[in-house]
Chains A and B, each alone.
Chain A
Amino acid sequence: MKKANLQFNFPLFLFLILFSLGGSSQAIAGGDSIGQKTRALKDENCLLGAELGLASKGTSYIILDLRTESDSVPVRINLKNRGIVLRKFDAERIRYRRTKGLVIEPIPLIKKMAFFPLKRKEIRPHKPEDGADAIGKLDFLELKDIPSNYTLSFGKGLLISIAGQPKGLISRFIDLIKSTLIHIRYSLAIVWNHFWKNDFAIIEIIMGNEDAQALYWSLEKGMSIVVMERHPYDTI
């Protein structure tokens, strides 16, 4: 009986270890302050240089600054145009892994991938009806039709997986299992790409459901992102 209990608890134990490892940070303290400052400035100048290039084009772009992650300051995904912030999306949780550090430069969005992608509705021509009734029959895309779980495929092997934070206990449990499976899938991808020496980076982001949907709506193919990594030797 005792043995059976041990066998039952062991997977749970491993499951918890798996989770804690996946969520742990890459930060290691160290480095002299002038060196750190120089490096931080150099990195920031790279970010600003990349942003200047994008801002001068007049198209919208995204700045994802992973350095801002802490308990009090959430990581923000800033949607910008001409240097002005159009909208800030707060990430509730972020997990970032890669086979090689990303270069701080604009990376274009290639594809939005969702299990239930957005489907446009077709208008069936009809004779106009009187006001109220006609309005009641209107069929159009709304935020609730937009997926909240999706993956954004950018160039240079960068994937950003977005998951909306579901409401309700059952939805949260289902989401936990789903996100664990996604996490495992990307762990396998990391190992695979490491062996084949491919550039691969995966950023898993959990945010509010409506924010996730609004972000999906706002992003367009070809839009560029600049990711500013937290340096592995920086303290949080």
Chain B
Amino acid sequence: MIKRIAFISFIRIVIGIIIILLTVELFAYYVSSDRPMVSSSIGASNLNELIRKNRTLRKGITGLSPKGFYIVIDTARNLIFLKEGNRTILKAVVSSGSGNILRDPSGKRQWIFDTPRGEFEVNEKIAAPKWIKPDWAFIEEEEDIPKNWEDRVEEGVLGDYALAFGNGYFIHGTLYKRLLGRNVTHGCIRVGDEDLETIYKLSRLGTKIYIF
């Protein structure tokens, strides 16, 4: 008997809660519907004038898009696209920044290995590039930071070509081909040999790079 009363009370409480929530839902529905959207104030109201304005705006946007070849890098899927207009010339798997953090044991510096996002452009094309190892590369491998510049130079690790896009970031080759498709780099973009060659040959200084 007590169990039955408890059950009925429980059901009543549940129904009560549901009725309250339904009332809120109905009110929210009423409040959020039937209120017109707000157009911000672009003055023209004449249809022809609006059509003209529409064309001008579309032209303006199209005019901002890159001319010739451009590179798009999707760091979530680790893909690189070489495009021209809406046409995709090449699609390849890459490795991009790991997003990991490295702290200097002294506690004074730290590095976040993200691939930068946004709009960049190719500012240097290098064949047979040499890697000038930055401080973090030595700290990561528990080595002393060399005083001589020559001790920082490492050959062969960046593949056959490199495209610099600012702040020490490059699109370059890799020795670790099995890691293509994964976020493992210190911020650079690693590309397989054949794809890198195509990208290198079709890119010019000033070729736009869009990274997201």
Contact = CB atoms under 8 A, between A and B. Distances in A.
Contacts of A127: 141-142
B205 interface: no
B5 interface: no
B36 A46 contact: no
Interface of B is mostly: mixed
A34 B47 contact: yes
Interface in A166-190: 184, 186-188, 190
B18 A14 contact: yes
A77 interface: no
Interface string B69-109: 01010111100000000000000000000111111010000
A8 B38 CA distance: 45
Contacts of A15: 18
A94 interface: no
A83 B28 contact: no
Contacts, number: 222
A84 B210 contact: yes
Interface string A77-119: 0010111101100000000011111111100000000000000
A101 B28 contact: no
B64 A142 contact: no
B51 interface: yes
B153 interface: no
B61 A55 contact: yes
A-B pairs, top 8 by smallest CB distance, nearest first, are A97-B32, A48-B57, A101-B37, A214-B76, A140-B98, A187-B28, A190-B28, A141-B99
21 contacts: A7-B11, A7-B15, A14-B18, A21-B25, A38-B47, A45-B57, A60-B118, A60-B210, A82-B64, A84-B66, A86-B210, A87-B74, A98-B35, A135-B178, A139-B100, A184-B25, A187-B27, A194-B28, A213-B76, A214-B74, A231-B36
Interface of B: 8, 11, 14-15, 18-19, 21-22, 24-29, 31-40, 42, 44-45, 47, 50-51, 53-54, 57-58, 60-62, 64-66, 70, 72, 74-77, 98-103, 105, 112, 117-119, 139-142, 176, 178-179, 182-184, 208, 210, 212
Interface of A: 7-8, 10-11, 14-15, 17-18, 21-22, 24, 26, 28, 34, 37-39, 41-46, 48-52, 55-56, 58-60, 79, 81-84, 86-87, 97-105, 120-123, 125-128, 135, 138-143, 146, 184, 186-188, 190-191, 194, 213-214, 217-218, 220, 229, 231-233
